[in-house]
Structure 1
Amino acid sequence: MHPVVTAFFDEPTNTISYVVKDPTGSSCAIIDSVLDFDYSSGHTDTESADEIIAFVEKEGLKVEWILETHVHADHLSAAPYLQQRLGGKIGIGEKITVVQDTFGKVFNEGTEFQRDGSQFDKLYVEGDSFHIGQLRGDVLHTPGHTPACLTYVIGDAAFVGDTLFMPDFGTARCDFPGGSSETMYESVQKILSLPDATRIFVGHDYKAPGRDEYAWETTVGEQKEKNVHVGGGKSKEEFVTMRDARDATLAMPKLIIPSLQVNMRAGNMPEPDAQGDVFLKVPVNKLGK
C-alpha cells in the first residue's frame, strides 16, 4: 500500500515531521513532531505543531498514532500537545528504558522519575505491527545512533529517523551514550534489505555541499548505490573507521540538554516546583567532550 506522506520542515532544527495517511480513509499518524524552544529565553512555542494541527483539521484526518523514531537530542517533541489537541497514542521503542536509565543518572532525576517507559502509551519491539486505518506499519529496531532507535515501515515507505540521511549526507553520529558505529552499520543493512523501491523518509536534512534545496525523500535502491557513508558495498570496517573519526570532530547539538530531559518524558516537561515553575538541569562536564 502507498501511504500519503506530507512533510513539515523545521529549519531551526533541520527536522522533518511527517503526517502519514491511509490512502483508503482518513486515519493518519504523526512522526517526529517538534516543539519550538528558544534556549536563551527558556520559552516554548507551538508554531510548528500548530501547522500540523491545522493540516490535520483542514483535511479532516483522525490521528491514531503519534510516533517517535527515538529520543531526539536536537529538538523537543510536541507529542503531548498534539495528543491533547488531536488524540492518538504516543509510541516509541521499548529500549527507551535504557535511555531513561542512562540520562536519569546524567540529570540526577532521582527516584521520582520513572525509568520504565510508562510515560508512553506503546513501547514497540522488533517485529511489532500496528495499523493506521487499513494501512499496516511494521517495526524494525535500528539502534546505533541511540539504543531505542526504530524504523517504521508503513506500506511502501520507511521512516528511518536519524539512522540514514539523504545519500549525499550519509548517516547519523554514533557517539551519544549507548550509541555504536558497529551497531549502526548492522541497522543500516537491515534497512537496505527492504525492497529497492521502498521510499525512505529521513528525520533531518542539512543540505549537503553542492545541494541548494532541502530534501528528505529517497529510496532504498538509491541509498544502496549512492550513500556516501554506506553505499556502493562499503564494508563494516570502512564504515566504523570513518564514523568514529568523524564523530570525534562533532560538537554536541545545541539543544541536547533540554531535548533529552523533555523527550525521555515523552515530550513532557519535568514536574513543576511548589510555585508552579518548571526547571531544566544543566549537568556540568558530563555531556561535553
Structure 2
Amino acid sequence: MNDMLRDTSKEEEDHESSTLLGKREDENIDSEVVGNRMEVSSKQAKLGYYISAALISILLLIDMIAFILVIRMLLDANTIGSEDTLEFRNPYIGLDELYTSGKVKPSTYSRLVNEPRFATQISSADPDRVFPVDLHRWLTDFGFVSPSDRRLKVSTTVSTIAQFHVLDYGMERCALAVRLPKRGDILPQPYSLPVAHDAVALDICELSVSRPLEEQALSFAARPPCLRKLATLQARVGEEVETPRFDCKSGSFLAYQISCVGSEESCDMDVWSNQNATWGFYINQYQTL
C-alpha cells in the first residue's frame, strides 16, 4: 500500500516537473520569437529610415538642380538684353513645300486690305517732338479701349510714318494705297483736304526697319533712315490710288514715311481712318499662289 502511494506521488511529481519544464520551454520559445520579431522590426525601421533619407536626398537634389536651371535661365535672359532681339518664327510651317509640290491647288482670293499697325506724325520744324499716341482711346469699366483709327496728316513740315505687318501667306504682292473722301462727305472724325486742288503729290519713302517700331519714341530726329524712295503718289480727292505692286514677304515688317513733295502749299491734308471705312494710307495685298 505504501509502495503504491509512493509510486503515485512519484508519478505526480514527475508530471509536475514535466509540466514545469514544458512551460519553461514554451516561455523560452516565446522569448526567442519576440526577440526575433523585435530584431526584424528594428531592421525594417532602419530600412524605412534609410529609404526615407534617400528619397529626401533625391528630392533635395532635384530642387537644387531646378533652382540652378532657373537661375541660369534668368541670367541668359539678362544676357539676351531685350525681347526686341528675339526671332519671329514662321507660323506657316510646311506650306512652301506643300504648294511647290503641285499636288494642291490653292483657292482664289481677292485682294486683302492691310491697315497700319500704327501711324504717327513727325515734324521737321520740331525735330525732337514726339506726337501724342492713341488720341481716340477712351476709358471703360474694363480699362482703356483703343480703336483702330489711324491718322494720315501731311503738310509742308509734318509727315506721317506708318508701319505694317505682312501676315497672310500667299498674299505677298503688295501695293501702297491712299484713299481720300469726297468733299462734303460726313465722316466720324473731322478731316481736311487740299483747298486749292483735288490732287496732291506725296513722296513715299521705305524706311530701314525689320522689327516693330516704338511709336512712343518716334520723332523727326529719331526716325529710321530712308532705305529707298518707293514712289511719288498722286492722291486724289474722292478716289483710291495705289503704287505699282512690289514683293512683300509674309511675316515682314514694313514702314513708310509719307511726305509732301517739296514745299507745295496746297499739300495740307488730315484724314482719319476708322473701322467702318478705310481712309488714308494702307496696303492692298494680292495673291501670289
TM-score (norm 2): 0.21
TM-score (norm 1): 0.21
Which of the pair has more CA radius of gyration?
A: 2
More helix by share: 2
